[in-house]
Amino acid sequence: MPATPLPIGSYVTSWRPGPVTEEDRLNPGPVSAVSALLDLPHTVAGTGDALPPLWQWFYFLHWPAQHELGADGHLRDARFLPPIPDRQRMFAGGRCEVSEPLRLGEPTERVSSLSAVTPKQGRTGELLFITERQEFRQSGRLCVVEEQDIVYRSGRGPAGAHPTALDDQATATAEGPWRLSLQPDPTLLFRFSALTANAHRIHYDAPYCRDTEGYPGLVVHGPLLALLMLELVRRNAPERRVRTLSYRLRRPVFAGERILADGAAADGRAGLRIATHREARHATAEVTFACRQD
Protein backbone atom coordinates (compact mmCIF):
# COMPACT_ATOMS: atom_id res chain seq x y z
CA MET A 1 0.00 0.00 0.00
CA PRO A 2 1.25 3.54 -0.72
CA ALA A 3 2.37 5.51 2.30
CA THR A 4 -0.17 7.92 3.75
CA PRO A 5 0.91 11.47 2.88
CA LEU A 6 2.00 13.61 5.77
CA PRO A 7 -0.23 16.58 6.70
CA ILE A 8 0.93 19.63 4.78
CA GLY A 9 1.39 21.56 8.02
CA SER A 10 4.00 19.07 9.23
CA TYR A 11 6.47 20.36 6.64
CA VAL A 12 6.35 23.93 7.94
CA THR A 13 6.20 23.39 11.71
CA SER A 14 9.60 25.00 12.25
CA TRP A 15 9.83 26.93 8.96
CA ARG A 16 10.07 30.61 9.83
CA PRO A 17 12.48 32.38 7.46
CA GLY A 18 13.71 35.74 8.70
CA PRO A 19 13.17 39.07 6.94
CA VAL A 20 15.35 40.26 4.07
CA THR A 21 16.20 43.85 3.12
CA GLU A 22 16.88 44.98 -0.45
CA GLU A 23 17.44 48.29 -2.22
CA ASP A 24 16.41 49.70 -5.61
CA ARG A 25 16.63 53.22 -7.06
CA LEU A 26 13.33 52.91 -8.97
CA ASN A 27 14.81 53.84 -12.32
CA PRO A 28 12.12 55.24 -14.68
CA GLY A 29 12.93 52.61 -17.32
CA PRO A 30 10.43 49.94 -16.16
CA VAL A 31 7.62 52.53 -15.99
CA SER A 32 8.30 53.48 -19.60
CA ALA A 33 8.28 49.81 -20.58
CA VAL A 34 4.96 49.11 -18.82
CA SER A 35 3.43 52.23 -20.36
CA ALA A 36 4.38 50.89 -23.79
CA LEU A 37 2.97 47.46 -22.89
CA LEU A 38 -0.39 49.09 -22.12
CA ASP A 39 -0.29 51.07 -25.40
CA LEU A 40 -0.28 54.39 -23.56
CA PRO A 41 0.69 57.43 -25.65
CA HIS A 42 3.24 58.61 -23.06
CA THR A 43 5.06 57.17 -20.07
CA VAL A 44 2.88 57.63 -16.98
CA ALA A 45 5.68 58.96 -14.74
CA GLY A 46 9.25 60.24 -14.80
CA THR A 47 11.96 60.93 -12.26
CA GLY A 48 10.48 62.50 -9.13
CA ASP A 49 6.89 61.55 -10.02
CA ALA A 50 4.68 59.21 -8.02
CA LEU A 51 4.76 55.53 -8.91
CA PRO A 52 1.23 54.21 -9.62
CA PRO A 53 -0.09 51.74 -7.02
CA LEU A 54 1.20 48.17 -7.49
CA TRP A 55 3.79 49.24 -10.06
CA GLN A 56 6.42 48.41 -7.43
CA TRP A 57 6.03 44.89 -8.89
CA PHE A 58 8.37 45.94 -11.72
CA TYR A 59 11.23 46.62 -9.32
CA PHE A 60 13.40 44.60 -6.90
CA LEU A 61 13.50 41.80 -9.49
CA HIS A 62 15.55 38.62 -9.17
CA TRP A 63 17.00 36.73 -12.13
CA PRO A 64 18.09 33.31 -10.83
CA ALA A 65 20.50 31.03 -12.63
CA GLN A 66 18.77 28.71 -15.08
CA HIS A 67 19.66 25.59 -13.09
CA GLU A 68 17.75 26.97 -10.09
CA LEU A 69 14.40 26.69 -11.89
CA GLY A 70 12.07 23.71 -11.67
CA ALA A 71 10.27 21.97 -14.52
CA ASP A 72 7.42 24.51 -14.33
CA GLY A 73 9.78 27.49 -14.57
CA HIS A 74 9.43 28.47 -10.91
CA LEU A 75 12.35 28.51 -8.50
CA ARG A 76 12.94 25.20 -6.75
CA ASP A 77 14.02 26.93 -3.55
CA ALA A 78 13.80 30.48 -2.25
CA ARG A 79 13.53 32.21 1.09
CA PHE A 80 9.73 32.39 1.24
CA LEU A 81 8.87 29.20 -0.69
CA PRO A 82 7.52 26.62 1.77
CA PRO A 83 9.45 23.31 1.96
CA ILE A 84 6.60 21.04 0.86
CA PRO A 85 6.94 18.23 -1.73
CA ASP A 86 5.73 18.64 -5.31
CA ARG A 87 4.81 22.24 -4.56
CA GLN A 88 2.09 23.91 -6.67
CA ARG A 89 1.60 27.67 -6.35
CA MET A 90 -1.44 29.94 -6.83
CA PHE A 91 -1.50 33.72 -6.41
CA ALA A 92 -4.73 34.45 -4.53
CA GLY A 93 -4.69 38.20 -3.92
CA GLY A 94 -3.37 40.87 -1.63
CA ARG A 95 -3.63 44.25 0.02
CA CYS A 96 -1.70 47.50 -0.11
CA GLU A 97 -1.65 50.58 2.12
CA VAL A 98 -0.13 53.75 0.66
CA SER A 99 0.86 56.32 3.30
CA GLU A 100 2.59 58.30 0.57
CA PRO A 101 3.41 57.30 -3.00
CA LEU A 102 6.85 56.01 -3.88
CA ARG A 103 8.82 58.43 -6.04
CA LEU A 104 10.70 57.40 -9.15
CA GLY A 105 14.46 57.87 -9.12
CA GLU A 106 14.78 57.82 -5.32
CA PRO A 107 16.68 55.14 -3.36
CA THR A 108 14.11 52.75 -1.95
CA GLU A 109 14.38 50.08 0.71
CA ARG A 110 12.15 47.01 0.74
CA VAL A 111 11.91 44.74 3.78
CA SER A 112 10.21 41.42 3.02
CA SER A 113 9.00 39.11 5.76
CA LEU A 114 6.71 36.17 6.35
CA SER A 115 3.51 37.39 7.97
CA ALA A 116 1.40 34.22 8.25
CA VAL A 117 1.57 30.47 7.54
CA THR A 118 -1.83 28.74 7.75
CA PRO A 119 -2.67 25.15 6.69
CA LYS A 120 -6.31 24.68 5.70
CA GLN A 121 -8.53 21.95 4.35
CA GLY A 122 -10.02 23.03 1.04
CA ARG A 123 -12.64 21.43 -1.18
CA THR A 124 -9.91 19.79 -3.26
CA GLY A 125 -7.57 18.79 -0.41
CA GLU A 126 -5.06 20.35 1.94
CA LEU A 127 -3.80 23.85 1.19
CA LEU A 128 -1.14 26.06 2.73
CA PHE A 129 -1.84 29.80 2.86
CA ILE A 130 1.24 32.03 2.98
CA THR A 131 1.12 35.80 3.48
CA GLU A 132 4.26 37.73 2.56
CA ARG A 133 4.59 41.30 3.86
CA GLN A 134 6.68 43.97 2.16
CA GLU A 135 7.48 47.39 3.58
CA PHE A 136 8.82 50.11 1.25
CA ARG A 137 10.73 53.10 2.62
CA GLN A 138 12.19 56.22 1.04
CA SER A 139 14.32 58.75 2.98
CA GLY A 140 13.62 56.73 6.12
CA ARG A 141 9.83 57.11 5.78
CA LEU A 142 7.48 54.13 5.54
CA CYS A 143 5.59 54.81 2.31
CA VAL A 144 3.89 51.58 1.25
CA VAL A 145 3.00 48.34 3.02
CA GLU A 146 1.96 45.44 0.81
CA GLU A 147 0.77 41.93 1.65
CA GLN A 148 0.48 39.12 -0.89
CA ASP A 149 -1.54 35.94 -0.29
CA ILE A 150 -0.12 32.83 -1.94
CA VAL A 151 -1.77 29.42 -1.78
CA TYR A 152 0.23 26.20 -2.10
CA ARG A 153 -0.73 22.58 -2.40
CA SER A 154 1.44 19.45 -2.28
CA GLY A 155 0.86 17.65 -5.57
CA ARG A 156 -1.90 18.35 -8.04
CA GLY A 157 -5.54 18.62 -7.11
CA PRO A 158 -8.50 17.75 -9.32
CA ALA A 159 -8.58 19.52 -12.68
CA GLY A 160 -10.49 22.77 -12.61
CA ALA A 161 -13.68 23.40 -14.57
CA HIS A 162 -11.91 25.19 -17.43
CA PRO A 163 -13.42 25.57 -20.90
CA THR A 164 -12.30 23.03 -23.48
CA ALA A 165 -12.26 25.67 -26.22
CA LEU A 166 -11.74 29.42 -26.09
CA ASP A 167 -14.01 32.03 -27.65
CA ASP A 168 -12.07 35.04 -28.94
CA GLN A 169 -15.15 36.96 -30.10
CA ALA A 170 -17.62 36.97 -27.19
CA THR A 171 -17.58 39.99 -24.86
CA ALA A 172 -18.62 40.58 -21.27
CA THR A 173 -21.61 42.67 -20.22
CA ALA A 174 -20.52 45.96 -18.63
CA GLU A 175 -21.72 46.92 -15.16
CA GLY A 176 -19.81 50.09 -14.24
CA PRO A 177 -19.10 53.38 -16.04
CA TRP A 178 -15.32 52.94 -15.85
CA ARG A 179 -14.34 50.53 -18.63
CA LEU A 180 -11.15 49.18 -20.11
CA SER A 181 -10.99 46.36 -22.66
CA LEU A 182 -8.05 44.13 -23.47
CA GLN A 183 -7.53 41.00 -25.55
CA PRO A 184 -4.16 39.68 -24.39
CA ASP A 185 -2.13 37.66 -26.85
CA PRO A 186 1.02 35.54 -26.35
CA THR A 187 3.27 38.50 -27.17
CA LEU A 188 1.74 40.66 -24.45
CA LEU A 189 2.05 37.82 -21.91
CA PHE A 190 5.68 37.26 -22.92
CA ARG A 191 6.50 40.94 -22.42
CA PHE A 192 4.75 41.05 -19.04
CA SER A 193 6.66 37.95 -17.93
CA ALA A 194 9.92 39.65 -18.90
CA LEU A 195 9.01 42.84 -17.02
CA THR A 196 8.32 40.85 -13.83
CA ALA A 197 11.11 38.23 -14.18
CA ASN A 198 8.43 35.52 -14.26
CA ALA A 199 9.49 32.26 -15.96
CA HIS A 200 6.35 30.25 -15.13
CA ARG A 201 5.59 28.20 -18.24
CA ILE A 202 1.80 28.63 -18.01
CA HIS A 203 2.27 32.12 -19.48
CA TYR A 204 4.27 31.20 -22.61
CA ASP A 205 4.31 27.42 -23.23
CA ALA A 206 0.95 26.40 -24.73
CA PRO A 207 1.66 22.63 -24.97
CA TYR A 208 2.74 22.62 -21.32
CA CYS A 209 -0.46 24.45 -20.36
CA ARG A 210 -2.65 21.89 -22.09
CA ASP A 211 -0.77 18.66 -21.46
CA THR A 212 0.59 19.21 -17.94
CA GLU A 213 -1.58 21.85 -16.27
CA GLY A 214 -4.89 21.04 -17.97
CA TYR A 215 -5.58 24.59 -19.19
CA PRO A 216 -7.06 25.28 -22.65
CA GLY A 217 -4.46 27.95 -23.41
CA LEU A 218 -1.92 30.36 -22.00
CA VAL A 219 -2.91 31.80 -18.62
CA VAL A 220 -3.07 35.58 -18.20
CA HIS A 221 -0.97 36.68 -15.21
CA GLY A 222 -2.94 37.36 -12.04
CA PRO A 223 -0.87 40.49 -11.35
CA LEU A 224 -1.76 41.81 -14.82
CA LEU A 225 -5.46 41.47 -13.97
CA ALA A 226 -4.89 43.39 -10.72
CA LEU A 227 -3.00 46.14 -12.56
CA LEU A 228 -5.77 46.47 -15.15
CA MET A 229 -8.29 47.09 -12.36
CA LEU A 230 -6.05 49.77 -10.84
CA GLU A 231 -5.55 51.27 -14.30
CA LEU A 232 -9.27 52.12 -14.25
CA VAL A 233 -8.62 54.36 -11.24
CA ARG A 234 -5.52 55.98 -12.73
CA ARG A 235 -7.36 56.85 -15.95
CA ASN A 236 -10.73 57.87 -14.55
CA ALA A 237 -9.81 59.52 -11.24
CA PRO A 238 -6.28 60.86 -11.80
CA GLU A 239 -6.77 63.58 -9.17
CA ARG A 240 -7.60 61.07 -6.43
CA ARG A 241 -4.80 59.42 -4.44
CA VAL A 242 -5.22 55.74 -3.58
CA ARG A 243 -4.93 55.20 0.19
CA THR A 244 -5.69 51.47 0.40
CA LEU A 245 -6.49 48.71 -2.02
CA SER A 246 -7.33 45.05 -1.83
CA TYR A 247 -7.81 42.54 -4.62
CA ARG A 248 -8.78 38.92 -5.03
CA LEU A 249 -7.95 36.61 -7.94
CA ARG A 250 -10.76 34.09 -8.38
CA ARG A 251 -10.71 32.34 -11.77
CA PRO A 252 -8.09 32.28 -14.56
CA VAL A 253 -8.40 34.14 -17.85
CA PHE A 254 -6.74 32.80 -21.00
CA ALA A 255 -4.88 34.44 -23.87
CA GLY A 256 -7.21 35.37 -26.73
CA GLU A 257 -10.25 35.98 -24.55
CA ARG A 258 -11.75 39.47 -24.48
CA ILE A 259 -11.26 40.95 -21.01
CA LEU A 260 -13.37 43.75 -19.60
CA ALA A 261 -12.14 45.70 -16.58
CA ASP A 262 -14.89 47.91 -15.21
CA GLY A 263 -15.93 49.63 -12.02
CA ALA A 264 -17.36 52.69 -10.36
CA ALA A 265 -16.57 55.08 -7.51
CA ALA A 266 -18.81 56.37 -4.71
CA ASP A 267 -18.34 57.72 -1.17
CA GLY A 268 -14.55 57.76 -1.30
CA ARG A 269 -14.28 54.19 -2.61
CA ALA A 270 -14.16 52.34 -5.90
CA GLY A 271 -15.27 48.80 -6.67
CA LEU A 272 -13.57 47.09 -9.60
CA ARG A 273 -13.72 43.76 -11.41
CA ILE A 274 -12.36 41.71 -14.31
CA ALA A 275 -14.99 39.98 -16.47
CA THR A 276 -15.23 37.85 -19.59
CA HIS A 277 -18.26 36.36 -21.31
CA ARG A 278 -17.65 33.23 -19.16
CA GLU A 279 -17.36 34.79 -15.73
CA ALA A 280 -18.66 38.03 -14.24
CA ARG A 281 -15.84 38.18 -11.67
CA HIS A 282 -12.53 36.60 -12.53
CA ALA A 283 -10.97 39.14 -10.17
CA THR A 284 -12.28 41.88 -7.89
CA ALA A 285 -10.73 44.85 -6.14
CA GLU A 286 -11.70 47.64 -3.77
CA VAL A 287 -9.93 50.98 -3.47
CA THR A 288 -10.27 53.69 -0.85
CA PHE A 289 -9.10 57.21 -1.61
CA ALA A 290 -7.16 59.56 0.61
CA CYS A 291 -9.01 62.58 1.99
CA ARG A 292 -8.74 65.59 -0.27
CA GLN A 293 -6.55 67.48 2.19
CA ASP A 294 -4.03 64.63 2.59
CB-based contacts of 3: which residues, under 8 Å, 6+ apart?
A: none
Q: How confident is the model at residue 112 (pLDDT cuts 50, 70, 90)?
A: very high
The answer on pLDDT for 164 being more than 50 is yes
Question: CA–CA separation, 231 vs 195, rounded Å?
Answer: 17
> What is the CATH T-level fold of the domain 162-293, as seen in this structure?
Thiol Ester Dehydrase; Chain A (3.10.129)
The CATH code of domain 1-158 reads: 3.10.129.10
CB-based contacts of 102: which residues, under 8 Å, 6+ apart?
A: 26, 50, 51, 56, 108, 136, 138, 143, 144
Q: How far is CA 219 from the centre of its chain?
A: 13
Provide mean pLDDT across the span 188-203: 97
Looking at residue 281, its pLDDT comes to: 97
Q: How confident is the model at residue 185 (pLDDT cuts 50, 70, 90)?
A: very high
| Residue 227: exposure state from Cβ atoms within 10 A (0-12, 13-18, ≥19) | buried
Residues carrying CATH 3.10.129.10, the chain: 1-158, 162-293
Provide mean pLDDT across the span 86-95: 92
